[in-house]
Amino acid sequence: MFGENASRTGGQRILDSDFAYFANMSIADVAGKPIHFSDFTSEERAVFFDVWVRDTAILVEKNIGEENVDMLKDLASKNAALETALQDSKASASRGIVPSYADIQQMYSERYRDLNSKSNKETVKVPGASSRAVYNVNANSVAALKGMYKGGRPLVSGSGGSSSGGELVGHSAMAAYTSWNYNWDANRAAKTTVGSWWSPCAWFDGGVDGVQYEPLYVWCGTGSNAPKTASIYQAGNGVYIWDWFGSHWTLQEASNSEYESARSFAVDQKGLPYGNVFWKWDTGKYVCSALVWRAWYQVSTNYDMDANYVDSWVWPNDIATSLDVSRIVTWTNY
């Protein structure tokens, strides 16, 4: 487990190398400004490690089912309490007070206790088969996706609609058909993308565990479970072009046949279960980002969309980071 050889001073301290795979993730502070994990203090990193990896990720690895309502509520509470504690820590630092490990742990504990009080616990929403939301779509978001839609193109969101149950994780999927069907323009339930979901978090109508088609409102919906922002990317290799007048990174885009190979591979995985968040190499089950990663990796190892490269897991943010040079449009739903 990460950081097991790191020293302790008041709490678990993890090395920069241990924390590197979270470096490009971010959450919003109390004013809505992004906070990047790479900017966290060692104390904030230690609390994140202790809470998220030790408590939250362990619950995810157990493949909790919808029948485990109390455990799911606890998972949701821990995610919310952790995010709030990190926001509060940054807010304190902005006022000149740098919280210690113990201070941040106390922030987390207090928020966690509040969320689990008798009066608040019932407000923690755990999507289930009988309570899935159905949303309208944002017309501008639909237009943005439609304009850049192409089978096999990866999509990534950084908030809301997480397929693994935490706002800190996000979601990744792929355009499921070769091209946009104009009948989808006014059909919020049109199956436009393919992704993998952990069943308790498959909040959309008809959502089940594992690899499946996603309705349009998963990516362009106006409700709070849908992502606030989402992006679609071209697929290809980042190539550094050198010349005397202006060296730069550019994209060597994949061919149409490669797009089709990635798209068809992802669709062919429909019905496979949700995977282990810490093992991207399993081809019998997939987390959302591993499905996208594998679909392109099987086309060619040149399309390794894991920004960490050396580890055994891949996150939505890894997909976004590795494809940043090829991001072609981002939309806001609400």
In this structure, the answer to whether residues 117 and 152 fall within a common structural domain is no
- Tell me: do 156 and 236 sit in the same domain: yes
Rg (alpha carbons) of the chain, rounded to whole number: 20
Question: Would you say residue 170 lies in a domain?
Answer: yes
- Contact, 148 vs 193, CB < 8 A? no
Q: Which of 186, 192, 74 is nearest to 126 (CA)?
A: 74
Q: List C-alpha distances in Å: 198 to 49, 167, 168, 276, 309.
A: 22, 14, 15, 10, 24
- The rounded distance, in Å, linking the Cα atoms of 169 and 246 is 36
Residue 2: the pLDDT is: 28
140: Cα separation from own chain's centroid: 22
Length of the chain: 334
Is the same domain home to 325 and 208? yes
CA distances from 237 to 18, 32, 127, 182, 256 (A): 27, 33, 38, 30, 14
Determine the Cα–Cα distance for residues 161 and 64; give it in Å rounded to an integer. 17
Q: Say if 175 falls within a structural domain.
A: yes
Looking at the domain assignment, is residue 134 inside a domain?
A: no
Domain end residue (candidates: 86, 121, 156): 121
Angle between helix 69-94 and 101-115 (nearest 10): 140
Both 287 and 318 in a single domain?
yes
Whether 11 is in a domain gets the answer no
Is residue 136 classed as helix, strand or coil in its secondary structure? Answer: coil
Specify if 133 maps to a domain: no
Look up the pTM and report it. Answer: 0.62
Contact yes or no for 28/20 (Cβ under 8 A): no
- Residue 67 in tokens: 């029948």
- The domain total for the chain is 2
The DSSP call for residue 235 is -
Residues 147 and 94 in one domain: no
301, two tokens: 């190892």
Angle between helices 256-268 and 288-297 (to 10 degrees): 140
Co-location of 148 and 101 in the same domain: no
For residue 292, what are the CA distances in angstroms to 32, 117, 187, 260, 320? 29, 39, 25, 13, 11
The reply to whether 128 falls in a domain is no
What residue numbers bound the domain in which 290 lies?
139-332
How far apart, in whole angstroms, are the C-alpha atoms of residue 330 and residue 157? 9
Residues 92 and 182 in one domain: no
- DSSP-based three-state secondary structure for 129: coil
Judgement on whether residues 170 and 81 belong to the same structural domain of the protein: no
CATH of the domain at 265: 3.90.1720
Residues 220, 291, single domain; the answer is yes
Nearest to 232 by CA among 284, 297, 159, 172: 172
Q: Are residues 322 and 178 in the same domain?
A: yes
Q: Are residues 47 and 105 in the same domain?
A: yes
CB atoms within 10 A of CB 32: 6
Residue 129 is assigned to a structural domain of this protein: no
294 & 191 share domain: yes
Q: Dihedral of the CA atoms 279, 284, 285, 288 (nearest 10)?
A: 80
Inside any domain, residue 149: yes
- How confident is the prediction along the chain (334 residues), in pLDDT tens digits per residue? 222 323 333 334 444 444 444 555 555 555 556 666 667 888 887 887 777 666 655 554 455 444 455 665 676 677 777 777 888 888 888 788 888 988 988 888 888 887 766 434 333 344 444 445 557 899 999 999 999 999 999 999 864 444 443 334 679 999 999 999 988 987 888 999 999 998 878 888 888 899 999 999 999 998 778 888 899 998 876 655 566 666 666 667 889 999 999 999 999 999 999 987 778 888 999 999 999 999 999 998 888 888 766 577 888 888 888 887 688 899 998 8
Q: Are 35 and 87 in contact (CB under 8 A)?
A: yes
Among residues 34, 39, 10, the alpha carbon closest in space to that of 22 is found at 39
Q: Could you tell me which residues come within 8 angstroms of residue 8 by beta carbon, excluding any fewer than 6 positions away?
A: none
Beta strands in 31-76 (DSSP E): 34-36
